[in-house]
């Protein structure tokens, strides 16, 4: 893995020529039962994502899924490495692609810890984009972000709800927020989260 990290840092073009194979190999190693191997793969995955700035359309679903899966590991160092790699993924990929991966691989995961990681990433992404960009984004992106965020507001985990609240704090004061929210979020869900949203104002 250290060799791959050096290759990505110093010879990114060579790695990107074999990007699909590299992504698949990293995904396998992230799931390795040996924590040292998995941690090294997570660190290499972070560097790999940074190298994707010029090829953001590469298929990394399997790799992102593996990182989310291990983000609930009992080893806190491995969890930290997974989170760091996912942070780089969210920073580098186009917002629509990042949100799609976070929602499909993280927010819909059966493990509550993984859903908390997804909520944190969505909050950070919302903060970086700002309310204007989020609420004026293409409908698919707005819908996916707001519907998922609304669902995370009702999670049993306090940490997940706190991250979801943080996400909505960046949006709730925008003049178009209520209109856009009512367009994409079902009325039943809106009724369930209305008090929470009011408490953010």
**DSSP assignment of 17-40, as one string?**
HTHHHHHHHHHHHHT-SSHHHHHH
User: 45 and 63 in contact (C-beta within 8 Å)?
Assistant: yes
pLDDT greater than 60 at residue 1 = no
pLDDT (0 to 100) of residue 3: 65
Q: How far apart are CA 110 and CA 175, in angstroms?
A: 35
pLDDT greater than 80 at residue 12 = no
CB-based contacts of 124: which residues, under 8 Å, 6+ apart?
87, 90
pLDDT tens digits, 141-165: 999 999 999 999 999 999 999 999 9
Q: CA 189, 193, 195 angle in degrees (round to 5)?
A: 145
pTM score: 0.92
**DSSP assignment of 71-120, as one string?**
TT-S-HHHHHHHHHHHHHHHHHS-HHHHHHHIIIIIIT-SSHHHHHHHHH
Mean pLDDT, range 43-61, rounded to an integer: 81
Q: How far apart are CA 175 and CA 148, in angstroms?
A: 21
Lowest-pLDDT choice from 15-29, 87-101, 179-193: 15-29
- Tokens for 62, please give them: 């399997």
Reported as type and span, the H/E element at residue 49 is: helix 35-50
pLDDT tens digits, 86-126: 999 999 999 999 999 999 999 999 999 999 999 999 999 99
- Average pLDDT in the chain: 90
pLDDT greater than 80 at residue 60 = yes
pLDDT greater than 80 at residue 67 = yes
């Amino acid at each position: 893995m250290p060799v791959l990290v050096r290759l990505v840092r110093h010879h990114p073009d060579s790695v990107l020529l074999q990007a699909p194979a590299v992504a698949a190999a990293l995904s396998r190693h992230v799931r390795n039962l040996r924590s040292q191997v998995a941690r090294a793969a997570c660190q290499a995955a972070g560097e790999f994502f940074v190298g994707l700035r010029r090829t953001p359309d590469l298929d990394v679903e399997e790799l992102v899924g593996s990182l989310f899966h291990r983000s609930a590991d009992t080893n806190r160092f491995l969890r930290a490495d997974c989170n760091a790699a996912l942070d780089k993924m969210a920073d580098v990929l186009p917002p629509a692609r990042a949100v799609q991966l976070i929602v499909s691989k993280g927010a819909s995961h059966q493990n509550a810890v993984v859903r908390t990681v997804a909520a944190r990433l969505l909050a950070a992404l919302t903060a970086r984009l700002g309310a204007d960009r989020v609420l004026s984004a293409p409908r698919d992106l707005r819908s996916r972000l707001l519907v998922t965020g609304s669902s995370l507001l009702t999670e049993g985990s306090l940490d997940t709800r706190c991250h979801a609240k943080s996400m909505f704090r960046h949006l709730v004061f925008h003049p178009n927020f209520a209109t856009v929210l009512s367009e994409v979020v079902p009325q039943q869900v809106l009724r369930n989260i209305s008090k929470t949203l009011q408490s953010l104002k």
